[in-house]
A = this chain, B = another copy of it.
Amino acid sequence: MATTEPEVAPGGRVTFRVRAPNAREVRVQYEGGGDTGNMQKDEDGLWSFMTPPLEPDIYSYTFFVDGLRSIDLNNPLLKYNLLYTDNQVEERGTTALPWEMQDVPHGQLHRHFYKSAATGEDRDFYVYTPPGYSPQWHRYPVLYLLHGISDDASGWTVAGRQNVILDNLIARGAAKPMVVVMPLGYGTMDMVRQGWSRISSAGRWETNLQQFRARLLDEVMPQVEASYRLSNHPQDRAIAGLSMGGAESLFVGLTEPKRFAWIGAFSSGGVGANFLELLPTLDSSANHRLGLLWISCGKNDSLYDSNQALVESLKGKGIHCTWREVPGEHSWRVWRPNLVEFAPLLFH
Protein backbone atom coordinates (compact mmCIF):
# COMPACT_ATOMS: atom_id res chain seq x y z
CA MET A 1 0.00 0.00 0.00
CA ALA A 2 0.99 3.58 -0.48
CA THR A 3 1.63 4.31 3.17
CA THR A 4 3.37 7.63 3.65
CA GLU A 5 2.62 8.04 7.37
CA PRO A 6 3.46 7.16 10.08
CA GLU A 7 7.22 6.62 9.93
CA VAL A 8 8.56 3.36 11.32
CA ALA A 9 12.27 3.54 12.16
CA PRO A 10 14.53 0.48 12.36
CA GLY A 11 14.27 -0.82 15.90
CA GLY A 12 10.52 -0.26 16.05
CA ARG A 13 10.08 3.37 17.03
CA VAL A 14 7.01 4.82 15.31
CA THR A 15 6.67 8.55 14.65
CA PHE A 16 3.11 9.80 14.27
CA ARG A 17 2.57 13.16 12.60
CA VAL A 18 -0.37 15.42 11.87
CA ARG A 19 -0.37 18.95 10.47
CA ALA A 20 -2.72 21.11 12.53
CA PRO A 21 -1.24 24.59 12.90
CA ASN A 22 -4.33 25.98 14.61
CA ALA A 23 -4.71 23.26 17.23
CA ARG A 24 -3.82 23.85 20.87
CA GLU A 25 -3.46 20.23 21.98
CA VAL A 26 -2.96 17.09 19.91
CA ARG A 27 -2.69 13.62 21.39
CA VAL A 28 -2.19 10.19 19.87
CA GLN A 29 -3.65 6.98 21.26
CA TYR A 30 -2.14 3.73 19.99
CA GLU A 31 -2.63 0.08 20.90
CA GLY A 32 -0.26 -1.02 23.58
CA GLY A 33 0.64 2.56 24.38
CA GLY A 34 -1.52 2.74 27.48
CA ASP A 35 -2.84 6.27 27.80
CA THR A 36 -2.49 8.80 25.03
CA GLY A 37 0.74 10.57 24.19
CA ASN A 38 0.95 14.33 23.95
CA MET A 39 2.27 15.36 20.56
CA GLN A 40 4.69 18.26 20.14
CA LYS A 41 4.21 21.08 17.63
CA ASP A 42 7.03 22.46 15.51
CA GLU A 43 7.18 25.96 14.05
CA ASP A 44 5.32 24.84 10.90
CA GLY A 45 2.34 23.49 12.83
CA LEU A 46 3.33 19.84 12.37
CA TRP A 47 2.62 17.83 15.51
CA SER A 48 4.63 14.66 16.14
CA PHE A 49 5.13 11.92 18.70
CA MET A 50 7.73 9.14 18.74
CA THR A 51 6.90 5.90 20.53
CA PRO A 52 9.34 3.74 22.45
CA PRO A 53 10.47 0.70 20.44
CA LEU A 54 7.44 -1.48 19.63
CA GLU A 55 7.62 -5.19 18.98
CA PRO A 56 6.64 -6.18 15.41
CA ASP A 57 2.83 -6.22 15.04
CA ILE A 58 -0.06 -4.20 13.66
CA TYR A 59 -1.14 -1.34 15.93
CA SER A 60 -4.32 0.73 15.73
CA TYR A 61 -4.07 4.43 16.53
CA THR A 62 -6.16 7.59 16.58
CA PHE A 63 -5.46 11.30 16.96
CA PHE A 64 -7.32 13.64 19.29
CA VAL A 65 -7.05 17.19 17.94
CA ASP A 66 -8.32 19.63 20.54
CA GLY A 67 -10.37 16.70 21.79
CA LEU A 68 -11.83 15.75 18.37
CA ARG A 69 -11.20 12.11 17.46
CA SER A 70 -9.50 12.22 14.04
CA ILE A 71 -7.98 9.68 11.72
CA ASP A 72 -4.66 10.06 9.94
CA LEU A 73 -5.65 10.94 6.38
CA ASN A 74 -2.02 10.61 5.25
CA ASN A 75 -2.11 6.91 6.06
CA PRO A 76 -4.23 4.82 3.68
CA LEU A 77 -4.12 1.88 6.11
CA LEU A 78 -7.56 2.32 7.67
CA LYS A 79 -9.33 -0.11 9.94
CA TYR A 80 -12.94 0.38 8.95
CA ASN A 81 -15.54 0.08 11.72
CA LEU A 82 -19.19 1.12 12.01
CA LEU A 83 -18.49 3.23 15.09
CA TYR A 84 -14.72 3.55 15.53
CA THR A 85 -12.79 3.67 12.28
CA ASP A 86 -9.12 4.21 13.03
CA ASN A 87 -5.73 3.77 11.41
CA GLN A 88 -3.20 0.98 11.56
CA VAL A 89 0.57 1.02 11.48
CA GLU A 90 2.49 -2.13 10.67
CA GLU A 91 5.85 -2.68 12.34
CA ARG A 92 7.73 -5.50 10.62
CA GLY A 93 10.60 -7.44 12.13
CA THR A 94 13.22 -9.66 10.56
CA THR A 95 10.88 -12.68 10.59
CA ALA A 96 7.49 -12.36 8.90
CA LEU A 97 4.57 -12.56 11.29
CA PRO A 98 1.73 -15.00 10.51
CA TRP A 99 -0.48 -12.04 9.48
CA GLU A 100 2.04 -10.52 7.08
CA MET A 101 1.45 -11.34 3.44
CA GLN A 102 4.17 -13.76 2.35
CA ASP A 103 5.21 -15.28 -0.95
CA VAL A 104 2.90 -18.29 -0.70
CA PRO A 105 -0.18 -19.31 -2.73
CA HIS A 106 -3.11 -17.05 -1.90
CA GLY A 107 -6.75 -17.92 -1.45
CA GLN A 108 -9.55 -15.67 -2.63
CA LEU A 109 -12.24 -13.63 -0.91
CA HIS A 110 -15.81 -13.68 -2.22
CA ARG A 111 -18.45 -11.17 -1.18
CA HIS A 112 -22.10 -12.22 -1.43
CA PHE A 113 -25.10 -9.89 -1.24
CA TYR A 114 -28.67 -10.75 -0.38
CA LYS A 115 -31.85 -9.27 0.97
CA SER A 116 -32.79 -10.75 4.32
CA ALA A 117 -36.29 -12.20 4.21
CA ALA A 118 -36.48 -11.88 8.00
CA THR A 119 -35.36 -8.24 8.39
CA GLY A 120 -35.77 -6.72 4.93
CA GLU A 121 -32.18 -5.49 5.20
CA ASP A 122 -29.60 -5.67 2.40
CA ARG A 123 -26.89 -7.88 3.88
CA ASP A 124 -23.58 -9.34 2.87
CA PHE A 125 -21.14 -12.03 3.88
CA TYR A 126 -17.58 -12.90 2.89
CA VAL A 127 -16.21 -16.31 2.00
CA TYR A 128 -12.53 -17.28 1.90
CA THR A 129 -11.63 -20.15 -0.40
CA PRO A 130 -8.16 -21.63 0.16
CA PRO A 131 -5.41 -21.68 -2.49
CA GLY A 132 -6.20 -24.21 -5.18
CA TYR A 133 -9.85 -24.44 -4.13
CA SER A 134 -11.56 -26.63 -6.64
CA PRO A 135 -15.25 -27.44 -6.51
CA GLN A 136 -14.46 -30.65 -8.37
CA TRP A 137 -11.93 -31.89 -5.85
CA HIS A 138 -13.59 -32.86 -2.59
CA ARG A 139 -15.88 -31.51 0.13
CA TYR A 140 -14.10 -28.90 2.24
CA PRO A 141 -14.48 -28.33 5.97
CA VAL A 142 -15.82 -24.89 6.87
CA LEU A 143 -15.19 -22.39 9.66
CA TYR A 144 -17.84 -19.75 10.39
CA LEU A 145 -15.87 -16.81 11.81
CA LEU A 146 -17.69 -13.99 13.59
CA HIS A 147 -16.70 -10.37 14.22
CA GLY A 148 -17.29 -8.26 17.32
CA ILE A 149 -19.78 -5.50 17.96
CA SER A 150 -19.16 -2.31 15.93
CA ASP A 151 -17.40 -4.24 13.19
CA ASP A 152 -19.11 -5.55 10.08
CA ALA A 153 -18.63 -8.59 7.86
CA SER A 154 -15.34 -7.15 6.58
CA GLY A 155 -13.75 -7.01 10.05
CA TRP A 156 -11.98 -10.35 10.01
CA THR A 157 -10.29 -9.62 6.68
CA VAL A 158 -9.55 -5.89 7.07
CA ALA A 159 -8.34 -5.98 10.68
CA GLY A 160 -8.01 -9.70 11.33
CA ARG A 161 -6.09 -10.59 8.15
CA GLN A 162 -7.96 -13.90 8.16
CA ASN A 163 -7.07 -14.66 4.56
CA VAL A 164 -3.38 -13.92 5.09
CA ILE A 165 -3.26 -16.04 8.25
CA LEU A 166 -4.94 -19.03 6.59
CA ASP A 167 -2.78 -18.72 3.46
CA ASN A 168 0.33 -18.85 5.64
CA LEU A 169 -0.88 -21.70 7.87
CA ILE A 170 -1.98 -23.80 4.90
CA ALA A 171 1.29 -23.16 3.04
CA ARG A 172 3.34 -24.67 5.87
CA GLY A 173 0.91 -27.55 6.38
CA ALA A 174 -0.15 -26.29 9.81
CA ALA A 175 -3.87 -26.00 9.03
CA LYS A 176 -6.12 -28.04 6.79
CA PRO A 177 -7.37 -26.30 3.67
CA MET A 178 -10.77 -24.95 4.72
CA VAL A 179 -13.43 -22.54 3.59
CA VAL A 180 -14.03 -19.64 6.00
CA VAL A 181 -17.38 -17.83 6.05
CA MET A 182 -17.62 -14.39 7.66
CA PRO A 183 -21.24 -13.26 8.02
CA LEU A 184 -22.65 -10.01 9.35
CA GLY A 185 -22.89 -10.65 13.08
CA TYR A 186 -26.07 -8.77 13.99
CA GLY A 187 -29.54 -10.20 14.35
CA THR A 188 -30.80 -6.88 13.06
CA MET A 189 -28.86 -3.72 12.32
CA ASP A 190 -30.76 -1.98 15.13
CA MET A 191 -28.05 -3.46 17.32
CA VAL A 192 -25.66 -0.74 16.12
CA ARG A 193 -27.86 1.77 14.32
CA GLN A 194 -28.12 4.03 17.33
CA GLY A 195 -24.61 3.68 18.61
CA TRP A 196 -24.21 2.09 22.02
CA SER A 197 -27.52 3.18 23.51
CA ARG A 198 -29.56 0.21 22.31
CA ILE A 199 -26.93 -2.43 22.90
CA SER A 200 -27.09 -2.25 26.69
CA SER A 201 -30.89 -2.19 26.92
CA ALA A 202 -32.44 -5.07 28.83
CA GLY A 203 -32.58 -8.38 27.00
CA ARG A 204 -30.97 -6.93 23.89
CA TRP A 205 -27.95 -9.20 24.06
CA GLU A 206 -30.00 -12.40 24.39
CA THR A 207 -32.39 -11.32 21.65
CA ASN A 208 -29.44 -10.70 19.39
CA LEU A 209 -28.02 -14.16 20.06
CA GLN A 210 -31.30 -15.73 18.98
CA GLN A 211 -31.80 -13.46 15.98
CA PHE A 212 -28.24 -13.91 14.82
CA ARG A 213 -28.61 -17.70 15.02
CA ALA A 214 -31.72 -17.49 12.83
CA ARG A 215 -29.94 -15.30 10.22
CA LEU A 216 -26.99 -17.71 10.14
CA LEU A 217 -28.95 -20.97 9.98
CA ASP A 218 -31.84 -19.82 7.78
CA GLU A 219 -30.18 -17.35 5.43
CA VAL A 220 -26.38 -17.56 5.30
CA MET A 221 -25.71 -21.29 5.62
CA PRO A 222 -28.13 -22.35 2.84
CA GLN A 223 -26.52 -19.88 0.41
CA VAL A 224 -23.03 -20.99 1.41
CA GLU A 225 -23.83 -24.67 1.05
CA ALA A 226 -25.44 -24.10 -2.35
CA SER A 227 -22.43 -22.10 -3.62
CA TYR A 228 -19.42 -24.03 -2.29
CA ARG A 229 -18.53 -27.66 -2.08
CA LEU A 230 -18.63 -28.26 1.67
CA SER A 231 -18.91 -31.26 3.91
CA ASN A 232 -22.15 -31.26 5.90
CA HIS A 233 -20.86 -33.41 8.74
CA PRO A 234 -20.68 -31.56 12.08
CA GLN A 235 -17.08 -32.82 12.44
CA ASP A 236 -16.28 -30.69 9.39
CA ARG A 237 -17.98 -27.52 10.68
CA ALA A 238 -16.53 -25.02 13.15
CA ILE A 239 -17.82 -21.75 14.54
CA ALA A 240 -15.64 -19.17 16.24
CA GLY A 241 -15.66 -15.48 16.94
CA LEU A 242 -14.42 -12.62 19.04
CA SER A 243 -16.21 -10.54 21.69
CA MET A 244 -19.91 -10.46 20.66
CA GLY A 245 -18.96 -13.11 18.09
CA GLY A 246 -17.47 -15.25 20.84
CA ALA A 247 -20.78 -15.26 22.71
CA GLU A 248 -22.57 -16.00 19.44
CA SER A 249 -20.23 -18.91 18.69
CA LEU A 250 -20.85 -20.42 22.12
CA PHE A 251 -24.60 -19.92 21.84
CA VAL A 252 -24.98 -21.24 18.29
CA GLY A 253 -22.36 -23.97 18.61
CA LEU A 254 -23.68 -25.34 21.88
CA THR A 255 -27.36 -25.20 20.85
CA GLU A 256 -26.71 -26.73 17.42
CA PRO A 257 -24.60 -29.82 18.13
CA LYS A 258 -25.85 -31.51 14.99
CA ARG A 259 -24.30 -28.72 12.97
CA PHE A 260 -21.06 -27.75 14.77
CA ALA A 261 -18.47 -29.91 16.50
CA TRP A 262 -15.74 -27.26 16.84
CA ILE A 263 -16.23 -24.05 18.82
CA GLY A 264 -13.89 -21.15 19.51
CA ALA A 265 -14.69 -18.14 21.69
CA PHE A 266 -12.12 -15.33 21.82
CA SER A 267 -12.53 -12.64 24.53
CA SER A 268 -16.27 -13.24 24.60
CA GLY A 269 -18.60 -10.41 25.56
CA GLY A 270 -21.70 -10.78 27.72
CA VAL A 271 -20.70 -14.16 29.12
CA GLY A 272 -19.96 -15.25 32.69
CA ALA A 273 -21.24 -17.91 35.06
CA ASN A 274 -24.90 -17.16 34.31
CA PHE A 275 -24.40 -17.43 30.53
CA LEU A 276 -25.16 -21.13 30.88
CA GLU A 277 -28.74 -20.23 31.89
CA LEU A 278 -29.22 -19.56 28.18
CA LEU A 279 -28.27 -23.19 27.52
CA PRO A 280 -30.52 -25.14 29.90
CA THR A 281 -30.15 -28.49 28.14
CA LEU A 282 -26.34 -28.40 28.04
CA ASP A 283 -24.70 -31.19 30.02
CA SER A 284 -21.65 -33.43 29.88
CA SER A 285 -23.20 -35.52 27.11
CA ALA A 286 -21.93 -32.71 24.85
CA ASN A 287 -18.35 -33.91 25.36
CA HIS A 288 -18.52 -36.83 22.97
CA ARG A 289 -20.01 -34.67 20.23
CA LEU A 290 -17.48 -31.84 20.51
CA GLY A 291 -14.13 -31.96 18.78
CA LEU A 292 -13.03 -28.82 20.63
CA LEU A 293 -14.45 -26.10 22.86
CA TRP A 294 -11.71 -23.49 22.99
CA ILE A 295 -12.12 -20.37 25.14
CA SER A 296 -9.50 -17.64 25.32
CA CYS A 297 -9.08 -14.17 26.76
CA GLY A 298 -6.37 -11.58 27.18
CA LYS A 299 -5.15 -11.26 30.75
CA ASN A 300 -5.56 -7.49 30.65
CA ASP A 301 -9.02 -7.58 29.06
CA SER A 302 -11.83 -6.16 31.23
CA LEU A 303 -13.81 -9.25 30.16
CA TYR A 304 -11.20 -11.61 31.60
CA ASP A 305 -13.06 -12.33 34.84
CA SER A 306 -16.36 -13.14 33.12
CA ASN A 307 -14.64 -15.48 30.67
CA GLN A 308 -12.82 -17.24 33.47
CA ALA A 309 -16.11 -17.56 35.38
CA LEU A 310 -17.74 -19.11 32.32
CA VAL A 311 -14.95 -21.67 32.05
CA GLU A 312 -15.32 -22.56 35.73
CA SER A 313 -19.06 -23.06 35.36
CA LEU A 314 -18.57 -25.21 32.25
CA LYS A 315 -16.10 -27.37 34.16
CA GLY A 316 -18.58 -27.50 37.07
CA LYS A 317 -21.06 -29.09 34.68
CA GLY A 318 -18.44 -31.62 33.59
CA ILE A 319 -17.99 -30.09 30.16
CA HIS A 320 -14.50 -30.31 28.68
CA CYS A 321 -13.04 -27.11 27.39
CA THR A 322 -9.64 -25.67 26.66
CA TRP A 323 -8.94 -22.37 28.48
CA ARG A 324 -6.23 -20.18 27.03
CA GLU A 325 -5.05 -17.08 28.83
CA VAL A 326 -2.91 -14.92 26.59
CA PRO A 327 -1.14 -11.60 27.11
CA GLY A 328 -3.02 -8.52 26.01
CA GLU A 329 -6.21 -6.51 26.06
CA HIS A 330 -9.50 -6.48 24.11
CA SER A 331 -7.73 -6.06 20.82
CA TRP A 332 -6.93 -7.45 17.40
CA ARG A 333 -3.39 -7.88 18.79
CA VAL A 334 -4.97 -10.81 20.70
CA TRP A 335 -7.44 -12.10 18.10
CA ARG A 336 -5.00 -12.46 15.21
CA PRO A 337 -2.78 -14.77 17.35
CA ASN A 338 -5.96 -16.53 18.56
CA LEU A 339 -6.81 -17.48 14.99
CA VAL A 340 -3.21 -18.56 14.33
CA GLU A 341 -3.44 -20.91 17.31
CA PHE A 342 -7.04 -22.07 16.84
CA ALA A 343 -7.22 -22.86 13.11
CA PRO A 344 -4.56 -25.63 13.21
CA LEU A 345 -6.58 -27.46 15.88
CA LEU A 346 -9.61 -27.89 13.63
CA PHE A 347 -10.95 -30.88 11.72
CA HIS A 348 -8.71 -33.62 13.09
User: Which residues of the partner chain B approach A114 to less than 8 Å between Cβ atoms?
Assistant: 106
Q: Does A101 contact B (CB under 8 A)?
A: yes
Q: Does A221 contact B (CB under 8 A)?
A: no
Q: Which of B66, B85, B107 contacts A78 (CB 8 A)?
A: B85
B-contact bits for A98-117, CB 8 A (1 contact / 0 none): 00010100111111111100
Whether A108 pairs with B108 at a CB distance below 8 angstroms is no
User: Which residues of the partner chain B approach A106 to less than 8 Å between Cβ atoms?
Assistant: 112-114
User: Which residues of the partner chain B approach A195 to less than 8 Å between Cβ atoms?
Assistant: 4
Whether B115 pairs with A108 at a CB distance below 8 angstroms is no
Q: Does A332 contact B (CB under 8 A)?
A: no
Interface size of A by CB at 8 A reads 47
Q: Does A1 contact B (CB under 8 A)?
A: yes
Q: Does A249 contact B (CB under 8 A)?
A: no
Interface residues of A (CB under 8 A from B): 1-4, 18-24, 65-71, 73, 76, 78, 80-85, 101, 103, 106-115, 122, 152, 163, 189, 192-195
> What is the bound-complex CA distance between A82 and B111, given in angstroms?
22
> What is the bound-complex CA distance between A194 and B5, given in angstroms?
10
> What is the bound-complex CA distance between A69 and B83, given in angstroms?
19
Residue ID in chain B nearest A111 by CB atoms = B109
Whether B82 pairs with A76 at a CB distance below 8 angstroms is yes
Whether B193 pairs with A2 at a CB distance below 8 angstroms is yes
> What is the bound-complex CA distance between A66 and B19, given in angstroms?
11
Whether A101 pairs with B113 at a CB distance below 8 angstroms is yes
Whether A192 pairs with B2 at a CB distance below 8 angstroms is yes
User: Which residues of the partner chain B approach A2 to less than 8 Å between Cβ atoms?
Assistant: 82-83, 189, 192-193
Can you offer 7 A-B residue contacts whose CB atoms are under 8 A?
Answer: A1-B82, A2-B82, A2-B83, A22-B67, A68-B70, A71-B73, A111-B111
What's the least CB distance linking A277 to chain B, in Å?
30
Whether B20 pairs with A67 at a CB distance below 8 angstroms is yes
> What is the bound-complex CA distance between A296 and B101, given in angstroms?
39
User: Which residues of the partner chain B approach A82 to less than 8 Å between Cβ atoms?
Assistant: 1-2, 76
